[in-house]
Chains A and B, each alone.
Chain A
Amino acid sequence: QQQVKQSPQSLIVQKGGIPIINCAYENTAFDYFPWYQQFPGKGPALLIAIRPDVSEKKEGRFTISFNKSAKQFSLHIMDSQPGDSATYFCAASLTGNQFYFGTGTSLTVIP
């Protein structure tokens, strides 16, 4: 059973556009929601994370929106650049010891 559902599977946007990646979860006990960015041949790198007591978190061009009642959270990338082209994974954590990952979104930003 997929604990965290992620969509879309792939996304293509023009430079300057705002790609949005969505994730949904079922377990209300999850208490930490990170996003990871992965380039080909590299391990995932932590991008930004949020706790369930906050509805939005912004770091640079990256923003997480969190809807606790809907059990959904999303990643927005403002003013996207070709260098943002990568695979993005959302995750949900239970007490920091168990992490459940979404299936990933391949983002392509066209110059």
Chain B
Amino acid sequence: GAVVSQHPSRVICKSGTSVKIECRSLDFQATTMFWYRQFPKQSLMLMATSNEGSKATYEQGVEKDKFLINHASLTLSTLTVTSAHPEDSSFYICSANLGQSYNSPLHFGNGTRLTVT
């Protein structure tokens, strides 16, 4: 069964509004979660690493003020797209390691399709 739950699966918002996406680890604690963005027919682009109780680590070129990440508990990380614009329309996917050993696989949520009109 799913080990990472992501909500909502689809969201449509108007330009200028903010959207929050939730990522939950089910039945395990995730001190680290990862947020990816995926454009159609393209690979996964790591946006940021979410660390429980501390600031997220953003990849180069990702605006931290636009993509706010909060990891307030060991089972929940949120990504807020602030002042969304049509170019922010994309598929956003979160993931988490099931364990902390070096060969623990990443488990992904089912993604959130964001459409900004």
Contacts and interface: CB of A to CB of B under 8 A. Distances in A.
Interface size class of B (residues with CB under 8 A): 20 to 34
Interface in A83-111: 87, 89, 91, 93, 95-97, 99, 101-104, 106
Interface string A42-67: 11111001010000000000000000
Interface of B: 4, 6, 32, 34, 41-44, 46, 49, 93, 95, 97, 99-111, 113
Interface string A7-30: 000000000000000000000000
A31 interface: yes
B41 A43 contact: no
Interface residues of A, number: 25
Contacts of B100: 96
A79 B94 CA distance: 32
The 8 residue pairs across chains A and B that have the minimum distance between CB atoms: A43-B108, A32-B103, A43-B111, A103-B43, A96-B102, A43-B110, A95-B102, A46-B105
Contact of A44 (B93, B99, B101, B113): B93
A89 B97 contact: no
Contacts of B111: 41-43
Interface of A: 31-32, 34, 36, 41-46, 49, 51, 87, 89, 91, 93, 95-97, 99, 101-104, 106
A53 to B, nearest CB: 11
